[in-house]
């Protein structure tokens, strides 16, 4: 009898240990469009806010590779991810994902073309025979859309430029152009503005050359089989962020958002067809 009690107690203990290990954790990740340290800094207060609002632990999973975020979301290894327009299209082609919210700014996003001052280029046409850097190959505002708009101008990067390279991230593109490692490059307008505002761009070395027309970009997406209730609560938490409250304004500022608005998959049809035109989808 004693042994039975003992084994029952052990079994219970084991069960409770299992239950606590199963304690609900929301795993969140983001495409690494900026340096890893910058991503962590940007996410920290948002993560705390989500923990409070959702009443569950929120864990940020740092990832150093765009495609890996897509793979992780499609194989249910993460629950919520900050995706670019193109990575969202890739994820929805490889599995079921649901876009929840986006920043108000994301509905009219742009990319910037920048050039090393020593090149002396006045327009995109002047870049013929120069070297050029996109961000990550999987980036919307760092690769897909700049490529698409170049193509519309009759410029095929692989033959027009001397060399086409992929820096991997938007801030890296600026560093490459500033150092002369490449002559020119394209990046996300939001990161460009941030770097200019914080004085991290040397105006005597890097010049702004052109800006693209607007397009839909980034959103927060969940895996398709995440509990419907939880999906709604995540959306609500984002939509509730109020720029008038100072602590919430700080979160929004770090995300470079005036506020969050709902989004839907149809918003990214334009990105999908641009990707097809640019030959980046198969």
Partner 1 sequence: MLSPHPRDPARWPRLFTLLLGLLLLAPSFPLTQFNPATLANPDSWHTMAGFVAGFFPPSLQSSFLHDVARETITTLASATAGIALAILLGAPLAFATTRALERQALAAERASASMEGVKSLLRGLMVILRGIPEIVWALLFVRAAGLGSLPAVLAIGLAYGGMLGKVYAEILESQPRELAAALHLQGASRWQCLLYGLWPQALPELLSYSVYRWECAIRASAVMGFVGAGGVGQLLDTSLKMLNGGEVSTLLLVFLLLVNLTEGLSLLSRHALERPRGGVYLLGSGIVAVVASVQWLLPGWRDSGFDLSAIPRFIHDFFLPDGSMLAELAHGTLETLAMSALGTVLAFVAAAMLAMPAAGRFGSLLKLASRLLLNLLRGVPDLLWASIAVLAVGLGPAAGVLALALHTAGVLGRLFAETLENADPAAEQALRLAGAGRVQAFSYGPLPAIFSQWVAYTLYRWENNIRIATVLGIVGAGGLGQQLYLALSLFQQHKAASLIIAMLLLSWLVEQLSRAWRQHMA
Element (H, E) at 4: helix 2-21
Contact of 150 with 184, CB cutoff 8 Å: no
Q: Minimum distance between the CB of residue 147 and partner 1, rounded to whole angstroms?
A: 12
Q: Does the protein bind partner 1 through residue 180 (CB under 8 A)?
A: yes
- The interface mask with partner 1, positions 153-172, x = CB under 8 A, is ----------x-xxxxx-xx
Q: Minimum distance between the CB of residue 270 and partner 1, rounded to whole angstroms?
A: 19
Identify the residue among 176, 218, 220, 238 touching partner 1 (CB under 8 A): 176
Q: Does the protein bind partner 1 through residue 43 (CB under 8 A)?
A: no
* Closer Cβ to partner 1, 108 or 162, answer by number: 162
Q: At what angle do helices 189-197 and 170-179 cross, to 10 degrees?
A: 60
For the CA atoms of 271, 273, 276, 282, the dihedral, rounded to the nearest 10 degrees, stands at 70
Q: What are phi and psi of 25, to 5 degrees?
A: -125, 130
Q: Minimum distance between the CB of residue 169 and partner 1, rounded to whole angstroms?
A: 7
Identify which of 53, 140, 134 has the alpha carbon closest to the alpha carbon of residue 90.
140
**Per-residue tokens: 93:** 């082609």
Q: Does the protein bind partner 1 through residue 237 (CB under 8 A)?
A: no
Q: Kindly indicate which of the ranges 46-54, 68-76, 216-224, 232-240 contains the residues binding partner 1, using the contact rule CB under 8 A.
A: 68-76
Q: Does the protein bind partner 1 through residue 188 (CB under 8 A)?
A: no
Complete DSSP assignment for 38-78 = HHHHHHHHHHHHHHHHHTSEEEE---S-HHHHHHHHHTTS-
Q: Does the protein bind partner 1 through residue 10 (CB under 8 A)?
A: no
Q: Where along the sequence are the contacts to partner 1 (CB under 8 A)?
A: 27, 35-36, 61, 63-68, 70-72, 75, 77-78, 90, 94, 118, 131, 133, 136-138, 163, 165-169, 171-172, 175-176, 179-182, 280-282
């Amino acid at each position: 009898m004693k042994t039975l009690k003992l084994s029952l107690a052990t079994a219970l203990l084991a069960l409770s240990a299992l239950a606590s290990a199963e304690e609900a954790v929301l795993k969140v990740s983001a495409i690494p469009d900026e340096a890893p340290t910058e991503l962590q800094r940007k996410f920290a207060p948002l993560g705390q806010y989500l923990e409070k609002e959702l009443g569950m632990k929120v864990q940020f999973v740092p990832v150093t590779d765009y495609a890996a975020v897509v793979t992780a979301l499609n194989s249910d290894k993460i629950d919520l991810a900050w995706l670019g327009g193109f990575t969202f299209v890739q994820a929805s082609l490889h599995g079921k994902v649901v876009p929840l919210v986006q920043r108000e700014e994301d509905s009219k996003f742009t990319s910037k073309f920048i050039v090393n001052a020593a090149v002396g280029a006045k327009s995109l046409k002047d870049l013929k025979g120069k070297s050029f850097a996109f961000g990550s190959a999987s980036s919307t505002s760092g690769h897909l859309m700049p490529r698409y708009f170049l193509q519309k101008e009759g410029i095929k990067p692989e033959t027009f430029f001397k060399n086409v390279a992929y820096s991997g991230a938007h801030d890296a593109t600026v560093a490459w152009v500033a150092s002369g490692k490449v002559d020119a490059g394209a990046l996300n307008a939001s990161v460009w503005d941030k770097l200019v505002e914080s004085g991290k761009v040397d105006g005597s070395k890097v010049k702004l050359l052109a800006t693209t027309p607007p397009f839909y970009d980034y959103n927060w997406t969940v895996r398709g089989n995440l509990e419907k209730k939880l999906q709604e609560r995540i959306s609500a938490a984002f939509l509730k962020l109020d720029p008038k409250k100072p602590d919430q304004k700080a979160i929004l500022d770090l995300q470079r958002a005036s506020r969050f608005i709902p989004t839907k998959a149809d918003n990214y049809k334009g990105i999908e067809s641009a990707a097809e035109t640019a030959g980046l989808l198969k």
